[in-house]
Chain A
Amino acid sequence: MSVLDIVLDVLAAICLLGGSFLALAAGMGLTRFPDLLARMHTATKPQVLGVLLMMLGLGLRLRSGNIIWMLVLVALFQLLTSPVAAHMVARAGYRTGKVDSSALVVDELTRDVEAAERAAQQQRATAEQQGATPEQQGADDEGDAG
């Protein structure tokens, strides 16, 4: 066993331990954190950094050219799919009222949704008004064109 082998094995061991520790931390966070967003925050740790560390450790331990590409593929798929899942879960959580806006420091989504609702209401009111008085609608159109 050469020196290089030992160094690579030690690096692999550190990576594997780090990845496992992130999984443990995610478990503790899941049981202790109070609401959905905090739990989502803790869930991302093993999903991205944890899996990356595990793949790195496994690659350093196996040291085979062909298998490295498969591990890169695993990391790539994990990076591609976990944001999609997190986005869908967060969206559903927001729509079903599981996000407490008063606990947030920055809440751009609520602001944007309210602005969009106001705009839609205004548009509806304008449409109703125009439906009631068709002559005025023609005048408005001309005004807009000019």
Chain B
Amino acid sequence: MTVVVILSALMLAAGAVLAAVRAERGPSMLDRTIALDVLTSTIVGAVALHAAWTLRFDSVPILVVFALVGFVGSVTIARFAAVEPEGEGRVLTREESDALDAQRRAVEETEGSADDEHHGGPAQGEVTS
């Protein structure tokens, strides 16, 4: 039994690490959600393995809680990720953030100067910060 437990624990740990890698790297929020779902079921497996090893029943209610609550997070994220724009799923570095700010400022300035000729700009009297 000890060999089986060690083998299973190694496989579970490798699966959890790989899922965590995807959760860190995942290009979109949904990829991370899936990776965390897999991590949750890996944790369920790990708790079950622990209970099977020690022959103790106390950790079985934890399994029920995990199985019940595990999907709430992914449903919530999926509900609110529905409006996520393309390529927004990673943390920007400081340079990229500065470049984005400069770009936005440039766009605002050109729109402000061309306001007399073009009528497609922001609405009249709109407050631009």
**Interaction A to B:** yes
Tell me the bound Cα distance from A145 to B9 in angstroms: 71
A-B contacts, CB under 8 A, total: 181
Residues on B close to A: CB < 8 A? Answer: 1, 4-5, 7-9, 11-12, 14-19, 21-22, 25, 28, 30-31, 33-35, 37-38, 41-42, 44-45, 48-49, 51-52, 55, 57, 60-61, 63-64, 66-68, 70-71, 74-75, 78-79, 81-84, 86
Chain A residues in 8 Å Cβ range of B9: 20
Minimum CB–CB distance from B31 to chain A (whole Å) comes to: 6
Q: Count residues of chain A with CB under 8 A from any CB of chain B.
A: 52
Chain A residues in 8 Å Cβ range of B84: 96
> Given A17-B4, A74-B64, A95-B82, are A36 and B31 also a contact pair (CB < 8 Å)?
yes
Minimum CB–CB distance from A56 to chain B (whole Å) comes to: 10
Chain B residues in 8 Å Cβ range of A75: 67
> Using an 8 Å CB-CB cutoff, how does the interface string of A7-51 with B read, 1 for contact, 0 for none?
001001100110111011111101100001001100100110011
Tell me the bound Cα distance from A61 to B38 in angstroms: 24
